[in-house]
């Protein structure tokens, strides 16, 4: 991969990460660039922010059994100026137990008290007059009959004519709530699996033992089954485990070709390819040149 292509990929990944963070989705990290210190610094800051925010957010959605408990969660809802929903973050969909296709185009008023819907419209119209201000509101969702008050920061984009609700807190004072145990159990289990999948992503990124990175090894090490790993990794990172492994292996191979005089077969084995022809084929596909051409280009004679 040449410098221009690498920089373009980094810009894409950084922008995607910033959008995810804005939507309250913190389960991914930007790969640190080894070629560009500027992008490396940005990626490190974004990753540190994600990690810091994650420590303040309850991973298990919406469930805490202690009476009179307050805790922090983050998800977002985007609506047009009439409160028709245009986007709801994955974390929000999970918390509210909604399907993405069933939400878009629906009114936020369908999920909150009727009286509050009208009051909210009147308050938000004032925000249009001064979109630089952030508005703090409380929403009480009637969906699932949950008597929860959500504290939300609301922003308005005059250019796009969209409201963004950042639901940054949940406040509850009332009788203990009972949940459908089967739904509760599924949500808790998925959250726990996602935490392990994130650890797997970090392990693949940092391990020097790429030969060990197999589905069997990862599932045994992190105590999840192969189907969970494949499904949740794809959902969180928009790529398969194999695709990410391949990216990491080729980046490691790139470093070794540039910085060492190891044979290409030795490099292929070092980064986890047992078949040199497989390494050669994937390298040429990714970098548009053969390994020896890549070394001749970057190593000084």
**Structure confidence at residue 64 (pLDDT):** 37
Q: What is the pLDDT of residue 277?
A: 92
* Residue 79 covered by a domain: yes
Please check whether residue 127 lies inside any domain of the structure.
yes
pLDDT tens column, 176-199 = 444 445 544 555 566 677 778 888
In three-state secondary structure terms, 151 is: strand
Domain assignment of residue 93, yes or no: yes
d(CA 217, CA 301) in angstroms, rounded, equals 41
Residue 92, pLDDT score: 74
56 and 71 in contact (C-beta within 8 Å)? Answer: no
- Using DSSP's 3-state secondary structure scheme, residue 127 falls into helix
DSSP type of residue 109: G
Dihedrals phi, psi of 216, to nearest 5 degrees:
-60, -45
Does 41 reside within a domain?
no
Q: By residue range, what is the domain housing residue 80?
A: 75-178
The verdict on residue 248 lying in a domain is no
pLDDT of residue 282: 92
Q: How much is the pLDDT for 143? A: 64
Residue 71, pLDDT score: 46
Q: Can you give the CATH number for the domain in which 123 is found?
A: 3.30.450.20
Asked if the structure places residue 196 within a domain, the reply is: no
Query: Which residues does 147 contact at the CB level (< 8 Å), separation at least 6?
Result: 140, 172, 174, 177
With a cut of 50, which residues of the chain have pLDDT below it?
A: 55-71, 145-147, 172-180, 183-184
Angstrom distance (rounded) from CA 82 to CA 102: 18
Phi, psi of 2 (to 5 degrees): -75, 170
Q: What pLDDT, on a 0 to 100 scale, did the predictor assign at position 173?
A: 46
Number of structural domains found in the chain: 1
- Domain contains 50: no
């Amino acid at each position: 991969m040449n410098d221009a292509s690498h920089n373009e990929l980094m810009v894409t990944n950084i922008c995607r990460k910033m959008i995810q963070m804005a939507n309250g989705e913190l389960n991914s990290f930007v790969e640190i660039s080894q070629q560009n210190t500027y992008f490396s610094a940005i990626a490190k800051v974004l990753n540190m922010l994600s990690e810091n925010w994650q420590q303040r957010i309850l991973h298990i959605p919406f469930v805490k059994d202690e009476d009179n408990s307050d805790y922090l969660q983050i998800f977002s809802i985007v609506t047009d100026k009439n409160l028709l929903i245009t986007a709801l973050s994955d974390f929000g969909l999970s918390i509210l137990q909604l399907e993405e296709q069933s939400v878009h185009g629906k009114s936020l008023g369908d999920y909150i008290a009727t009286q509050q819907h009208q009051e909210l419209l009147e308050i938000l119209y004032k925000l249009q007059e001064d979109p630089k201000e952030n508005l703090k509101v409380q929403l009480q969702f009637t969906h699932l009959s949950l008597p929860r008050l959500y504290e939300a920061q609301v922003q308005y984009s005059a250019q796009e004519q969209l409201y963004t609700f950042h639901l940054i807190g949940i406040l509850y004072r009332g009788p203990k709530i009972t949940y459908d145990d089967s739904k509760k159990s599924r949500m808790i289990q998925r959250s726990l699996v996602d935490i392990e999948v994130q650890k797997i992503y970090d392990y693949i990124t940092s391990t020097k033992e790429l030969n060990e990175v197999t589905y069997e090894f990862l599932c045994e090490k992190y105590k999840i089954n192969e189907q969970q790993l494949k499904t949740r990794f794809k959902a969180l990172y928009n790529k398969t485990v194999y695709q990410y492994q391949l990216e990491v292996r080729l980046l490691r191979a790139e470093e070794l070709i540039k910085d060492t005089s190891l044979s290409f077969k030795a490099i292929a084995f070092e980064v986890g390819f047992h078949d040199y022809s497989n390494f050669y084929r994937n390298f040429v596909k990714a970098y548009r040149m053969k390994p020896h051409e890549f070394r001749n280009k970057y190593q000084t004679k």
